[in-house]
Every structure is written in C-alpha cells, then in structure tokens.
Structure 1
Amino acid sequence: MQPYLLEMKHISKTFPGVKALDDVQLAVRAGEVHALIGENGAGKSTLIKILAGVYHPDPGSRFFFDGKEVEIKKPLDATLQGISIIYQDLSLFPNLSVAENICMGRDAGKGP
C-alpha cells in the first residue's frame, strides 16, 4: 500500500466562543480523491483554510507531506507543498478559462 502523501493530525481550531474543529484527522494517498461532506457550520471550510495556510490551527495540530512534518503558517507554505485551493466563494474572472482561473497568481512556467 502506498504511503500517505498528506496527513493532517490532531487538527483543532477555536474561534472566540466556538470550537470549529476538534482533533480532526485526514490522510490522503497520491491519486486519491476525497470529499468533505457535512452540514453548514461543520468545519469543512475551516479545515481547508487551515490546509491552505489562511487560518492557523490550535497548538498540537500537525501536518505531514511525503512523511515529513511541515509547518503551514501562511498560504505560501501551502503553495510550496503543491497545495492549491479554489474557494467556492471566490470571485473568478469570467473572461478566463477554468485552467487560467486556477493558475491565477502563479508564475507561468514555474512549479511551486
């Protein structure tokens, strides 16, 4: 069995008065597709924003890429790990293709 490409362990996030995530675990192997499903307010977007470096998780949260522990403190850290997020509430450029919208903000011809 393939090792995990991405592991998120003990992911918690507390906002003032709200425990949005409590000890969430996520593990993904290369080539796998996962769906985050849940009610409004279940923490799906919060988890993705933590993975993307937009939100900071509570202490004790750990991230692993290719078996190596990494810190994701800002969006650039996530980008350097090859993570790209398309937010459902993002304003896209209607005159650009889907691929062009996905690559917006990346240098042409350069990898992460």
Structure 2
Amino acid sequence: APKVAAIGLAVRVAVEAMGLATDQWRQIVIFAALASIIFGAVAAIGQTNVKRLLAYSSINNVGFVLIGLAAGTQEGVAAVLFYLTVYVVMTLGSFIVVLQMKDSEGQPVETIA
C-alpha cells in the first residue's frame, strides 16, 4: 500500500504540478526506472528465499511503473494506473501462495530448493 500511494503521489505531482516542465524531470525518472529495473533483476539472481525474491521483484516492478510516468502524457498515466492495479492483485496473490506453501511436516516453505 505505501508503494502504491507513493507512486500515485509521484504521478500526480509530476503530471499536474510539473506538467509544463516534463522535459526537465523526464531524464531523472528514466534514470530511476532503469536503476530500479537493473538493481531488482541483478539482486534477485542469487536469492534462495522466496519472500526475498518477491521483494526484489517488487523493486523491479517499480521501474516498469516509472517508465509509464516518464512518458509524461495522459496515456502514460493511464498505463501507470493499469499496471498498478494488476501489480497489486498479482502481488497479493503471490504472497498468499507463498504463505500457504508447507512441506510434508507442515512447516512453512521459504526456500526455492
């Protein structure tokens, strides 16, 4: 929820408050998007814990949301809102599945192995 609220606030400030200065903030958003995508993907490579893997995936997904913001148009905002809606549903589903995974002894499974 905090991440979705922060993205919503960022979209509103960027498009409504600084809409006329899109060219000035677009490069910063593109850099943040690429950094988030790369960091999330590289950090997830060595993970063996499923919950941490999902956490790095969420870092990666923020980068994809920022790509829509970097467009600086109403279509970009619509794409951000659609992506956030799908992201929230899929993340909730993923964490519910991970929390329901149990081994043969009834212990929670947290490792990929």
Whether TM-score is above 0.5 comes out as no
Please identify which structure carries the higher helix content: 2
Please identify which structure carries the higher strand content: 1
Q: Could you tell me the TM-score, scaled by structure 1's length?
A: 0.29
Which of the pair has more CA radius of gyration? Answer: 2
